[in-house]
Structure 1
Amino acid sequence: MKFYYVYILLCSDKTYYTGMTNDLERRVNQHKSGYRKNSYTYSRRPIELKWYLQCNNPLEAIKVEKQIKG
């Protein structure tokens, strides 16, 4: 069974980043390493994983992410 994750990161400037992925460990490591220079978290490293939710359905994960983002 495939899982989808909604996650919240705390950035070094005390802001939060919310995202969704199907591989939480890989995605958090990408944020930590600065995988994309134009991403929100790149200049706000180091980051810390504060919360995540595992979902069975990608639509459920998208719904939760949208609820969090408002």
Structure 2
Amino acid sequence: MSVNEVSAFSLTLEQKTGFAFVGILCIFLGLLIIRCFKILLDPYSSMPSSTWEDEVEEFDKGTFEYALA
């Protein structure tokens, strides 16, 4: 390969920065997709159980104020 062919394939600093930024965005998007699928498969695991139990107990006692709001 001659010097002209090597310089034709080299990337500028802006191109390298752009590729790095797009790569980081793709990794971030992949992590968000994985987290969303985990929430979709088991939605109640992220909910604190104490809050859910408190609301169920109030519902059993016959207080419906929070349901009307």
On whether the aligned pair clears a TM of 0.5, the verdict is no
What TM-score, normalized to structure 1? 0.24
Q: Which one has the bigger strand percentage?
A: 1
Which structure has the greater CA radius of gyration? 2
Q: Which one has the bigger helix percentage?
A: 2
What TM-score, normalized to structure 2? 0.24
- Between 1 and 2, higher relative CO (CA 8 Å, sep ≥ 6) is seen in 1
